[in-house]
Amino acid sequence: MTAPPRPTLDQLVTGVRAGDRAILARAITLVESGKAEHQALAQDMLQALLPDSGGAIRLGITGVPGVGKSTTIDQLGINLIDQGHKVAVLAVDPTSKRSGGSILGDKTRMNRLAGHAQGFVRPSPTSGTLGGVARKTRESMTLVEAAGFDVVIVETVGVGQSEVAVSEMVDFFLVLLLPGGGDELQGIKKGIIEVADMIAINKADGDNADRARQSAADYQGALGLITPTSENWQPPVITISGRENDGLDVLWQKVCDHRARMMASGEFDARRTAQAVGWMHDMLSERLLALVHANPAVAGRLRDCEARVRDGKLTPTRAVDEIMSYLTATSTSATPP
């Protein structure tokens, strides 16, 4: 069976704007592709759709495995759809470097939301990308916003620097924790708490209810010792139960309150602008490294520098200086008069 022909640029742009889920899925696949010809088409598509993006509420959610992220996101998404929203979930899936397997698994974890006409769930494997963040998450956000989704949730697992990176591409960063007086911090880094816009103690039901309330009080006290990321917002701590759909209305109201406060102070626009420039800088760094590897002579010098750094004969700073000088000289000599 032959594969269907790849859509043209006009078909992609028109289909995404129309909210065609099949075209949207193919558009995301295109931006995730590493092939040069696919990337050229993807960038033309993104440029055309950029004016249609930017209007969504961007919510990042993290937490250690077992904290109940999938159940909470699935229920929250259904609640928001019932209120008239369109909800897209981009699950940043930190693929194992050793086995190649995924940690988050597939979209069947959020089967109600994934199957809803007003919902969209897309796992994005990182394939071992530094920090665990999918390279194309930002581009995927642009696409789902252009497709009319007004709430975009970026889900990631609490395993390291991916959380800090996700916090820098969303409007509101939520950390889910379990009841238990802080023991779960053994599996989630303190730096993640420092960038949280809110902490929600999940599974606050049944026998866990009292422990959850105590944990919330403990974390609220601890947050008082941490300088907040914004002078206009003091991160609250709430208790919820994703399974019982308890407290999710309060959770969403806090997200809306934060957005209103940030927009009133001008911080919302400033943060979005800084994120766009940061995205550009990240892409520039990635392209420069790709340029190094693409040039055989420079790549050879890189391997030589790596060997001398390993042997303790060259400092990393001097190695970078040497590689950049060689790259500049090579690029200059290759430039036609």
Three-state SS annotation for 85-136: CCEEEEEEECCCCCCCCCCCCCHHHHHHHHHCCCEEEEEEECCCCHHHCCCC
Whose tokens are 């379990």? That residue is 178
Question: What residues contact 158, with CB distance under 8 A and at least 6 apart?
Answer: 62, 63, 64, 65, 67, 175, 187, 188, 189, 192
Q: In degrees rounded to 5, what are phi and psi of residue 18?
A: -80, -5
CB 223 within 8 A of CB 237: yes
Both structure tokens of 292? 């190094």
What pLDDT was estimated at residue 100?
45
**Which runs of consecutive H residues, i.e. helices, occur in the chain?**
9-17, 21-32, 36-49, 69-82, 111-115, 137-146, 161-167, 190-194, 209-223, 248-265, 267-294, 296-310, 316-334
- Of 5 and 298, the structure prediction assigns the larger pLDDT to 298
| Domain 1-52 class, CATH top level | mainly alpha
What pLDDT was estimated at residue 37?
86
This prediction has a pTM of 0.85
Both structure tokens of 82? 């019932």
Fold of 53-264: Rossmann fold (3.40.50)
Answer yes or no: CATH 1.10.287 is held by domain 277-334.
yes
Burial group, residue 194, by CB count within 10 angstroms (0-12, 13-18, 19+): middle
**pLDDT higher than 60, residue 19:** yes
State the average pLDDT over residues 278-284.
83
pLDDT, mean over the chain: 86
User: First vs last Cα of the chain: how many Å apart?
Assistant: 51
What are the angstrom distances between the C-alpha of 61 and each of 3, 200, 210?
36, 10, 24
- Of 153 and 334, the structure prediction assigns the larger pLDDT to 153
Question: Lowest-pLDDT range, 213-217, 269-273, 278-282, 319-323?
Answer: 278-282
**pLDDT higher than 60, residue 91:** yes
Both structure tokens of 182? 């802080």
Both structure tokens of 191? 């730096």
State how far the Cα of 118 lies from the Cα of 152, in Å rounded to an integer: 12
- Of 289 and 68, the structure prediction assigns the larger pLDDT to 68
State how far the Cα of 218 lies from the Cα of 185, in Å rounded to an integer: 13
Question: What residues contact 162, with CB distance under 8 A and at least 6 apart?
Answer: 92, 94, 126, 131, 132, 133, 156
CB 198 within 8 A of CB 172: yes
Question: What residue ranges do the domains of the chain occupy?
Answer: 1-52, 53-264, 277-334
Question: Lowest-pLDDT range, 155-169, 224-238, 304-318?
Answer: 155-169
Both structure tokens of 230? 């914004």
